[in-house]
Amino acid sequence: MSEVQILHSVQQFLARQHGHFIDGQHVAADGLERIELVNPATEQVVSTIAVGSETDVLQAVKSANQAFKHAWANTSPYERGVKLNKLADLVEQYGEELAQLETLTTGKLINISRHLEVAQTVVFLRYFAGWATKINGQTMQPSIPSANGEKYTAYTMRQPVGVVAGIVPWNFSLMIGVWKIGSALTTGCTIVLKPSEFTTLSLLRLAELAIEAGIPKGVINVVTGKGQTGHFLINSPWVKKVSFTGSVPTGIAIGQQAMASDLTRVSLELGGKNAAAILADANIDEILPALLQATFVHQGQVCAAPERFFIHQSKYDEFTQKVSGAIQQLKIGSPLDESNMFGPLSNKPHFEKVKHYLDLAHQNNQIISGGQVLKGTGYFVEPTLLKVSGVDDPLFIEETFGPVVDVIPFETDEELLEMMNHSRFGLTASLWTNDLSKALRLIPQIEAGSVWINMHTFLDPSVPFGGVKASGIGREFSDAFIEAYTEVKSVMIRY
Ligand code: NAD
Closest residue by CA, ligand 1 atom 19: 231
- The response to whether residue 388 sits with its C-beta less than 6 Å from ligand 1 reads no
- The response to whether residue 399 sits with its C-beta less than 6 Å from ligand 1 reads yes
Give the model confidence (pLDDT) of 141-199 as tens digits: 999 999 999 999 999 999 999 999 999 999 999 999 999 999 999 999 999 999 999 99
Q: Is 189 in the active site?
A: no
What would the DSSP string read from start to end of 426-494?
Answer: -SEEEEE-S-HHHHHHHGGGS-SSEEEES--S---TTS-B--SGGGEES-BSTTHHHHHHEEEEEEEEE
Calculate how far, in angstroms, residue 61's C-alpha sits from the geometric centre of ligand 1. 21
pLDDT (0 to 100) of residue 2: 87
Calculate how far, in angstroms, residue 492's C-alpha sits from the geometric centre of ligand 1. 42
Q: Is the separation of the CB atoms in 248 and 72 below 8 Å?
A: no
- The response to whether residue 246 sits with its C-beta less than 6 Å from ligand 1 reads yes
Q: Among 101, 239, 235, 75, which Cα is nearest to 166's?
A: 239
Q: Is the separation of the CB atoms in 163 and 192 below 8 Å?
A: yes
Atom of ligand 1 nearest to the CA of 427: 41
The rounded distance, in Å, linking the Cα atoms of 77 and 62 is 23
Give the model confidence (pLDDT) of 87-100 as tens digits: 999 999 999 999 99
Calculate how far, in angstroms, residue 168's C-alpha sits from the geometric centre of ligand 1. 6
Q: Which of 97, 102, 269, 447 is catalytic?
A: 269
The fraction of the chain above a pLDDT of 70, given in percent, is 100
- The response to whether residue 401 sits with its C-beta less than 6 Å from ligand 1 reads yes
Calculate how far, in angstroms, residue 250's C-alpha sits from the geometric centre of ligand 1. 6
Tell me the pairing of strands 20-22 and 25-27.
antiparallel
Secondary structure letter of residue 314 according to DSSP: G
Helix or strand (DSSP H, E) at 410 = strand 404-410
- Which parts of the chain sit beneath pLDDT 70? 1
- The response to whether residue 449 sits with its C-beta less than 6 Å from ligand 1 reads no
Lay out the sheet containing 152-160: strands in order across.
Answer: 139-140, 152-160, 486-494
- The response to whether residue 301 sits with its C-beta less than 6 Å from ligand 1 reads no
- The response to whether residue 425 sits with its C-beta less than 6 Å from ligand 1 reads no
Query: Best of 51, 105, 116, 167 to mutate for ligand 1, by most ligand atoms within 8 A of CB?
Result: 167
- The response to whether residue 254 sits with its C-beta less than 6 Å from ligand 1 reads yes
Question: CA 98, 100, 102, 105: dihedral to nearest 10 degrees?
Answer: -140
Domain ranges for the chain: 8-270+472-492, 274-461
Secondary structure letter of residue 328 according to DSSP: H
Calculate how far, in angstroms, residue 146's C-alpha sits from the geometric centre of ligand 1. 55
Query: For domain 8-270+472-492, which CATH number applies: 3.30.930.10, 3.40.630.10, 3.40.50.1820, 3.40.605.10?
Result: 3.40.605.10
Give the model confidence (pLDDT) of 448-471 as tens digits: 999 999 999 999 999 999 999 999
Q: Among 300, 234, 292, which Cα is nearest to 263's?
A: 234
Q: Is the pTM of this model over 0.95?
A: yes
Burial class (CB in 10 A: 0-12, 13-18, 19+), 144: exposed
Atom of ligand 1 nearest to the CA of 196: 9
What count of Cα atoms within 13 Å lies in the side-chain half-sphere of residue 363?
7
The rounded distance, in Å, linking the Cα atoms of 446 and 460 is 20
Closest residue by CA, ligand 1 atom 39: 269
The rounded distance, in Å, linking the Cα atoms of 122 and 84 is 10
Calculate how far, in angstroms, residue 261's C-alpha sits from the geometric centre of ligand 1. 20
Three-state DSSP state, 109: coil
**What is 274-461's CATH topology?**
Aldehyde Dehydrogenase; Chain A, domain 2 (3.40.309)
pLDDT (0 to 100) of residue 167: 98
The rounded distance, in Å, linking the Cα atoms of 266 and 354 is 29
pLDDT (0 to 100) of residue 1: 64
Calculate how far, in angstroms, residue 472's C-alpha sits from the geometric centre of ligand 1. 12
pLDDT (0 to 100) of residue 339: 97
Q: Among 209, 241, 219, 264, which Cα is nearest to 70's?
A: 219
Q: Is the separation of the CB atoms in 128 and 183 below 8 Å?
A: yes
- The response to whether residue 250 sits with its C-beta less than 6 Å from ligand 1 reads yes
